[in-house]
Chain A
Amino acid sequence: EAQVTQNPRYLITVTGKKLTVTCSQNMNHEYMSWYRQDPGLGLRQIYYSMNVEVTDKGDVPEGYKVSRKEKRNFPLILESPSPNQTSLYFCASKREVGVIYGYTFGSGTRLTVV
């Protein structure tokens, strides 16, 4: 089944403890992206990647890192999480950078930082 898989689905952590949220797609998609969803703010883009080793900042990149060492994986790294990073995170992918639609979203990761 074609899908975007995020892990974990739920995570509670403490301030300052490094964590990684994984994202993997099995569709050979070129483009991948991370969003965070907060009540009343919709989804905001954190980082995106147009291909292997090509990443760029979205609208809210502060406090996050990403890497794209292989096409299928796009992990989101929080080096020193803070409570304001408590949010619902979505990973998404699409076949080509230049394609307008055709996004596939993961099921989300609910992160709580205490």
Chain B
Amino acid sequence: AQSVTQLDSHVSVSEGTPVLLRCNYSSSYSPSLFWYVQHPNKGLQLLLKYTSAATLVKGINGFEAEFKKSETSFHLTKPSAHMSDAAEYFCVVSLYSGAGSYQLTFGKGTKLSVIP
């Protein structure tokens, strides 16, 4: 079975300290992986995507993620948290579902709190 697991439902960091949001995936094929962010009462915004090019992917707002095949991980990091980073983050895998179609499967989300 193919799936995506976000290891923490809630992460709390102090402003100015590093952020680490963990994601592991399970896939029989080479996956395409994404991180989406959802700010309170807002829609979903794409942070970054991995589609089998460089394993270190840079996204918007200073976020990065590294694809590690040996660890089946795609953790999201940021060197220094800002108050505006407080949001819910979703790790997403795009899976081939047959008939030439790709579908998204979402993790359960990690809520990031940033303490002043």
Please name all residues of chain A whose beta carbon is closer than 8 Å to the beta carbon of B99 when the two chains form the complex.
50, 97
Interface size on B (CB < 8 Å)?
A: 23
Are A41 and B108 in contact, CB atoms less than 8 angstroms apart? yes
> In the bound complex, do residue B43 and residue A90 qualify as a contact, i.e. CB atoms below 8 Å apart?
yes
B101 to chain A, nearest CB (A): 5
Are A90 and B44 touching (Cβ within 8 A)? yes
Q: What is the bound-complex CA distance between A103 and B90, given in angstroms?
A: 14
Q: Mark A29-56, 1 if CB is under 8 A from B, else 0.
A: 0010101000011111100101000000
Residues of B within 8 A of A98 (CB): 100-102
Nearest residue (CB) in A for B101 is A97
On whether the beta carbons of A108 and B43 are closer than 8 Å, the reply is: yes
Chain A contact patch, size range: 20 to 34
Chain A residues positioned under 8 Å from B103 (CB to CB) = 33, 45, 48, 58
A106 to B44 CA separation, bound complex (whole angstroms) = 8
Q: Residues 79-93 of chain A: 1 if any B CB is under 8 Å from the residue's CB, otherwise 0?
A: 000000000001010
A50-B99, A50-B101 given; A101·B49 CB < 8 A: yes
Question: What CA separation (Å) do A114 and B100 show in the bound complex?
Answer: 40
The reply to whether A40 and B94 contact each other, CB–CB distance below 8 Å, is no
Contact indicator B51/A44 (Cβ below 8 Å): no
> In the assembled complex, which residues on chain B have CB atoms less than 8 Å from the CB atom of A33?
103-104
With contacts A42-B108, A43-B106 taken as known, whether A97 is within 8 angstroms of B100 at the C-beta atoms is: yes
Q: What per-residue 1/0 map shows which CB atoms of A1-40 lie under 8 Å from chain B?
A: 0000000000000000000000000000001010100001
Q: How far, in whole Å, are A93 and B105 apart by their CA atoms in the complex?
A: 15
A43 to B44, CA, bound (A): 11
Q: Check B9–A40 contact: CB distance below 8 A.
A: yes
> Can you add 20 more A-B contacts, CB < 8 Å, to A105-B43, A106-B43?
A31-B101, A33-B104, A42-B107, A42-B108, A43-B104, A43-B106, A44-B106, A45-B104, A45-B105, A50-B99, A50-B101, A92-B104, A97-B101, A97-B102, A100-B51, A101-B34, A101-B49, A101-B94, A103-B104, A105-B44
Please list the residues of chain B having a beta carbon within 8 angstroms of any beta carbon in chain A.
6, 9, 32, 34, 42-44, 46, 49, 51, 90, 94, 99-109
